[in-house]
Amino acid sequence: MNRFHRLLAAAICLASTPLLAAPGDLDTSFAGSGKLVSSYGGLSQFGPAVKVQSDEKIVAVGKQYNDHDDDFLVQRFLGDGTPDTSFGSAGATVIKLSNSDDNAKALDFQSDGKIVIAGGAGQPGSYETIALARVTAAGVLDTSFGTKGYVLVDFGLPSHAHSVVVQSDGKILVTGESYTSGDGGMVVIARVLSSGALDTGFGVDGKVTQTFGSAANGHALVLQTDGRLLIGGYTTIEATGKPGFLVARFLANGTLDTSFGSNGSSTVSVGTGNNYCHAMMLQGDGKIVLTGSAVTATNYDFVLIRFNSDGSLDTGFGTSGVVTTNFASSPRPSIEETAGGAIQSDGKIVAGGYSDQKFALARYLTSGALDTSFGTGGVVTTVIGSNDWIKSLALQPQDGKIVAVGFSKNDTTYNLSIARYLNDCCQTISFGRAPTIVVGGTGSVSATATSGLAVTFSSATPSVCTVSGGIVSGVGAGTCSILANQAGDANNAAAATATLTITSYPTLADCVFSWAERAFPEFFAPAVAASSTAAPYYYRYYSGTQTYLATSSPDNHIWAYGPVTGNSLFDIGPMTSFLSTAGCSQ
């Protein structure tokens, strides 16, 4: 038995160590298990929306039943999942807007740290109206906003909001729908000043109403960099009478942008029954992604639709612009629906919702195909209580981890539930001086150097560096440097900053993996189609033996995990000690 066999055999006697984590796994550094259930106040609560602050604190909004009716509920958690006791009362703020049901649906952050919450407020003996509330960074109702901290926007019909965006100038946009009669509805948009007063320069006295077909609903709002507004939702398509997904664009003043789609909007009908859109994302190239659900065959499935920036369907995405995902075929779940989504910096699309009474996530490549490096075949389901449903998700800006919020039923009570999942994308680091950064993981890492200053990366593995806006030097041997040129420099006169992206380039690891497969097929066969990353590991999975073979970028060692190692993560040794035997050139 040679050294490699002896090392693997000896590993069977080792004590158990943590499982090799992969994208889509629960992040056990969050709440001890990757998931938490909030029982604040001991009353039923629902969590429709989540966002992550720059300091990694997680803010979730929804509603709480107070034994008589529902109130807005805002909660903030630290990065480890514990309540942030510096916020509100024990980490939560309850906002009562009326003596009827109040339901928070969305939130956004102001540049000063204040939090704007949007939803609906019930009016006894009347109808529900769109409601906005604002709390300080400490979770205290901001009485300088509107009337005692909140604003009611009355469209003269039952209305509620689903999405809110704070503009860079502090103005606040909100969208939702108003109901006329029966199932009839129309998209409504309002813009208020930072004070809470309606912005009379938008629409008619700060408000816009727009019909699209006979039953339009506005569920998502995205602000383009040119100030135009994208609204995503669903409607009944007038020409066919069928339900369909809807995307529309408005000018910055609230006027419908007739250059978009067909006279300002685009619709597409999916499947054979109801269509529901609940989220919308804008790609860096201007393409628009809607997520929701539709009846395909006999039940609901996840649906993604992508439009070009002019409102036409992107036929290069999925099948003629449409992607549907069924999580399980037998038994077929009655409802699978996306309620939230996000686009990673590498262009991959994450969608979250509900499947068979479980939290459900899926990740897609830019083509619309499921990303099989995520979860199991591109999908993940998580049981938290019973009747678990993701209502919103966000990517942490610091490390790309996926934070999903929704609700779960526990006995007779519904509770706000949050789960956080590992991701292999995307860390960004900005510096205003000249540090050296040791890269401790695979994937993409970025840095910014201010004018005239350098940033140097040192990686444990050979790396490929790309740079924009500056001069790159020292490429090779795992070290990359950039110098951001002074304004007016002859080499790059327009540049005052530069950005370097260093991406792990694991040619040597793949060479060693391939050698191990040839030399020891009893341990490492058959391999998956390609290697994958789960920082700090770069690995292959061998389904025949249910074993992982990996390199770790912090120490450049080879690791194994699986039944052949007693299901213990085992350090085989430095990769450099195998290069000669494996015939791999450094």
Report the C-alpha gap between 44 and 416 in whole angstroms: 8
pLDDT of the chain along its 586 residues, tens only? 444 444 444 433 332 233 346 889 999 889 999 999 987 766 677 888 999 998 889 999 999 887 778 899 999 999 999 999 999 999 999 999 988 889 999 999 999 999 999 999 987 667 899 999 999 999 999 999 998 999 999 999 999 999 999 999 999 999 999 987 666 789 999 999 999 999 999 999 999 999 998 889 999 999 998 999 999 999 999 888 899 999 999 999 999 999 999 999 999 999 888 999 999 999 988 999 999 999 887 788 999 999 999 999 999 999 999 999 988 755 555 678 888 999 987 889 999 998 988 999 999 999 999 999 899 999 999 999 888 999 999 998 877 899 999 999 877 788 899 999 998 876 443 333 333 333 333 344 455 544 444 455 544 444 445 544 444 443 333 445 544 444 333 333 233 333 444 444 456 778 888 888 888 887 887 765 577 766 567 788 887 787 888 877 656 778 888 777 766 777 787 777 777 777 776 5
Location of structure tokens 């958690």: 77
Sheet containing 35-38: give its strands across: 35-38, 413-421, 402-410, 386-395
Report the C-alpha gap between 195 and 83 in whole angstroms: 30
What are the structural domain ranges in the chain? 3-20+506-582, 24-96+391-423, 216-382, 427-504
Render 133-183 in DSSP notation, one character per residue: EEE-TTS-B-TTTTBTTEEEE--SS-EEEEEEEE-TTS-EEEEEEEE-STT
| Alpha carbon 325 to its chain's center | 18
Asked if 54 and 449 count as a contact pair (C-beta separation under 8 A), the reply is no
